[in-house]
């Protein structure tokens, strides 16, 4: 599905409705340039999962875990990582975390780890349209 969000609030609303629709065990892979709205979307998504804590960008620590209403929510940002991300994903514990249906994992800059993400990963692509907002394409 393709969406145009006109402002940040709309980006959050879209994230929220996606978050509320999750069943647990999903891995969402977010792709898009800096400033295209990924973290904004994640803030809404966390709301939809019933996370009450504020979501801050995990850029400097790579991963943060939150507790939602029914699931744990793991927010990952691979922006600063380089090299063999297979080992990084392992040492973050992600390869175990995403096997567990009690968890929902959302990964920003997921294309860096494309080859190592699990089957069934749901891709979400963000595009900055400037004045016109953001284009967000959620893979079926
Ligand atoms: P990313 O995580 O992709 O780097 P952010 O989510 O941090 O991007 O968003 C960057 C900026 O874009 C923020 O200031 C946010 O409020 C803004 N933003 C998000 N969605 C929209 C939109 N649809 N229209 C205009 N600005 C938006
Ligand atoms: Mg971000």
**pTM beyond 0.85:** yes
**Cα(38) to centroid of ligand 1, in Å?**
7
Ligand 1 atom closest to Cα of 6? 23
Mutate to test the pocket of ligand 1, among 11, 15, 128 (most ligand atoms within 8 A of CB): 11
The CATH number given to whatever domain includes residue 99 is: 3.40.50.300
- State the total domains in the chain: 1
Q: Of the ligands numbered here, which is closest to the C-alpha atom of 12? A: 1
Average pLDDT over residues 113-125: 96
CB of 43 sitting under 6 A from ligand 1 = no
Low-confidence winner among 2-11, 82-91, 106-115 (lowest mean pLDDT): 82-91
Q: Which atom of ligand 1 is nearest to the CA of 10?
A: 23
pLDDT tens string 61-87: 899 999 999 999 999 999 988 888 999
Q: d(Cα 118, Cα 27) in Å, to the nearest integer? A: 8
Range of the domain at 133: 2-138
CA distances from 137 to 13, 58, 93, 103, 126 (A): 15, 23, 28, 23, 7
């Amino acid at each position: 599905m393709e969406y145009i969000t006109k402002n940040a609030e709309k980006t959050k609303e879209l994230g929220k409705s996606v978050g509320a629709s999750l069943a647990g065990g999903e891995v969402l892979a977010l792709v898009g340039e800096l400033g295209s709205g990924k973290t904004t979307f994640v803030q809404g998504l966390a709301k939809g999962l019933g996370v009450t804590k504020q979501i801050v960008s995990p850029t400097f620590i790579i991963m943060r875990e939150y507790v939602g209403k029914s699931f744990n929510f793991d927010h990952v940002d691979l922006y600063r990582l380089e090299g063999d991300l297979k080992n990084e994903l392992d040492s973050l514990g992600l390869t175990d975390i995403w096997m567990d249906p009690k968890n929902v994992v959302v990964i920003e800059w997921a294309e860096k780890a494309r080859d190592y993400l699990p089957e069934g990963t749901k891709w979400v692509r963000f595009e900055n349209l400037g004045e016109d907002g953001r284009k967000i394409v959620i893979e079926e």
